[in-house]
Each structure stands twice: as C-alpha cells, then as structure tokens.
Amino acid sequence: MFGQNLEVQLSSARTEDTTVVWKSFHDSITLIVLSSEAGTSELRLERLLQMVFGAMVLLVGLEELTNISNIERLKKELRASYGLIDSLLGDSELIGDLTQCVDCVVPPEGSLLQEALSGFAEAAGTNFASLVVSGRVVVATESWWRLGTPEAVLLPWLVGSLPPQAARDYPVYLPHGSPTVPHRLLTLTLLPGLELCLVCGPRPPLSQLDPQLLERWWQPMLDPLRACLPLGPRALPAGFPLHTDILGLLLLHLELKRCLFTVEPSGDKDPSPEQRRCVLRSFYTLVTAVHFPPEPGQQEDKAEDAAQQPQVPKACYLVSGTEEPGTGWRLVALQSGPRRLLLLLSAQSPVHGLRGLATRTLHALTPLL
C-alpha cells in the first residue's frame, strides 16, 4: 500500500525462508499467498493466485466480488469456493493449476467415445459436454474445448474435487466467458470415478436426462468407458511404448492449452510419485520462467525487445546427484512448435543421450496431443 501511494508496483517479497506474493483483482479483491516450501518460485505463486481468484468467480460471480455491498454476506458466499481452493493449495495429482492447460488423458477408443459424447450432447440440447476421469478430461465437444482460461482448467478440477454423487446440478459462472451471468454445471456419474459433465443454461432440467437417454448412448460404450478408469494417474493407454528410463513426463500443447502429465509410466522405482510430481513441477517453473519464451496469451515482449534475442532455446537439461554415480535423476525439456515436453529420467540415463531420447518421445507422443 505504501508503494501504491508512490505509484510503485510491488508484487512480491522474500524473507529468509518465506516467499510472499500478492495480486489485486479489479481494484477490489487483493489475494496474498505465503509459501515456505524450499525453492518455491514466484511464477508458481502468481499462477496460484490467478486460479484462486478464478475459483472465487466460478462459484460466486464477478459482480459479488467487485461491487461489495455487504462484506459478511460475501464471506458466507465464498465458503462455497473453499473446497476448490483447498484442492488448489494441496498436493494434487494434476498440474493444470500451474501450466494453465487442461489436464487430459488419452483413451484407447477415443473416436467411439467422442461420437457418443457429441450425440448425447445434441440429444440433451447443449454444445458443452465432456467426460472427466479423476479431474482429467477424456473427450470433450468442440465448444467445451473452446472454453477460455481459467474455466477450462477449473471445471474438471471442480468435478474432481467434489465428493462422489450420482448426479449434480451446480450453478457456476465462467470467469472468462460469462463472469456475471450464471450457468449450470450438470454432472452424471457413468462409472465410479468417471463423470459426464454438461454446461448449459436454464434447460435441460436434470430430470430430463433420464436413465433411458443415458442407456441409449452409453450402454453400448461400457467397455470403452471401463478402459478409461485406470487412465487417471497414468494418462496414457496401457502398452504405450515409453523408454524404461522415463519416470515422469509432462507434454504441453501451448496453442490448444492442453497437457498430458504422468509420473507413473512404469513400475515402482524410486523416487515416489509425490517426489516425481514435485520435481517436474519445479522443473516446469524453471524452464518457463528462465529458458523458454513467454507462452501464448502471456505478456509478450515488445517487437524491438524480441528482435534483440537472436537465439531462442529449443532444449535444456538438468542433472542432479552426479557426485554418486547412479543416484539422483535427469531432467530434460524440449520445445518444438506449439509443443513442449518435459521428462524426468532415472540416473541410469546417459546425459549425452537426453536430447535424442526426448526427441524420440516427443515424436511418439505428437499424434496424441
């Protein structure tokens, strides 16, 4: 506040063991986040604040947050967003909060599921429909994919964070597309952990989505649907050929704003899945903040500044644990067109082969995303 009075913008501060980041939204709400996690980056905390504000708009609406007439009523209404915000603050298996891309999985029979979903959405009278497993999108209609940030990330995240229910009719605002007029998020559980999600207006009523309509479109799809259930943590279909040294991967399509993220591509080797997620998240913030150019939709440098950067990195790698052979891990990132691949590899992987391995893996994954 002292800086603001002097027209100085101060966005973060550090103490010996804590990083503090704050951000004002619409000159109305200021959010402050403090983190004492080792190596926490300001990029990560800034994006967390954007997602938290998005979650507040999603469930309360922008009008309530910008024209505050009764602070006590607003506090009560914001309780509806606590569960979603808690899941953003916790150790999630997802990464969309950081990458601002939608967490996806690749189903074995995607075209069949896509056809059934499009047919069902048309029969239900909405353009916005998706199948979600463990907070990740399996397939979605074209209109659903065109949802803006942050709702494209937050809607599946919200569904994944709610306790299981056979059906829901949930009022939501779309922070980018419709921040002041509420829509309805309808969810129907097809199998435990696999939900059908629709975004619509006043129609159709939930009662119209009767069992006969569901059976007509989804009963013939039972086997393809069951095949989606194990995809949650793995993201890729069983049997997809990945090098045995790969302990985790993150593939981003920066134009489509979608990503594949898994730390369980192979058997149970050290480090633990939690550690792998933590390492890949840290590596993502490093390469995004330091090595690679700004992502589409982010603050771009002016043309004259860009002209002074003759070389844009295409790849980078990081090696840990080199003091003791066979310990630690390797990390490599590769940028190719709109795709960015980050790999976490075991210590056995030779450093001189990292780029070749990443290139081959990206080539194999390209048809999927």
The first and second tokens of residue 1, run together, are 């506040």
pLDDT of residue 140: 97
The model's pLDDT over 38-73, given as tens digits with 9 standing for 90+, comes to 878 899 999 999 999 999 999 999 999 999 889 999
What is the four-CA torsion angle of 176, 177, 179, 180, rounded to 10 degrees?
Answer: 160
pLDDT digits (tens, 9 = 90+) for 323-360: 566 677 899 999 999 999 999 999 888 889 999 999 99
Query: So what's the pLDDT on residue 292?
Result: 86
- This prediction's pTM: 0.91
Q: How many CB atoms lie within 10 A of CB 91?
A: 9
Please choose, from the candidates 311, 316, 320, the residue with its C-alpha nearest in 3D space to the C-alpha of residue 349: 320
DSSP SS3 for 155: helix
Task: Write down the residue that tokens 């309808």 correspond to.
Answer: 186
Q: Cβ of 1: how many Cβ atoms within 10 Å?
A: 6
Straight-line distance from the first to the last Cα atom of the chain, in angstroms, rounded to the nearest whole number? 45
Q: Three-state SS for 133?
A: strand
> Starting from the edge strand earliest in sequence, which strands make up the sheet with 29-35, in order?
12-14, 19-25, 29-35
- What is the fold, at CATH topology level, of the domain defined by 102-234? Beta-Lactamase (3.30.450)
> What is d(CA 254, CA 184) in angstroms, rounded to the nearest whole number?
28
Q: Which CATH number fits domain 246-291+313-366: 3.40.50, 1.20.120, 3.30.450, 2.60.40?
A: 3.30.450
Give the domain ranges of the chain: 4-91, 102-234, 246-291+313-366
Give yes or no on whether 102-234 and 246-291+313-366 have one common fold. Answer: yes
Specify the pLDDT at position 54.
97
For strands 102-103 and 258-262, give the pairing. parallel
CA distance 296 to 249: 21
> With a cut of 70, which residues of the chain have pLDDT below it?
266-269, 295-310, 322-326
pLDDT recorded at residue 98: 95
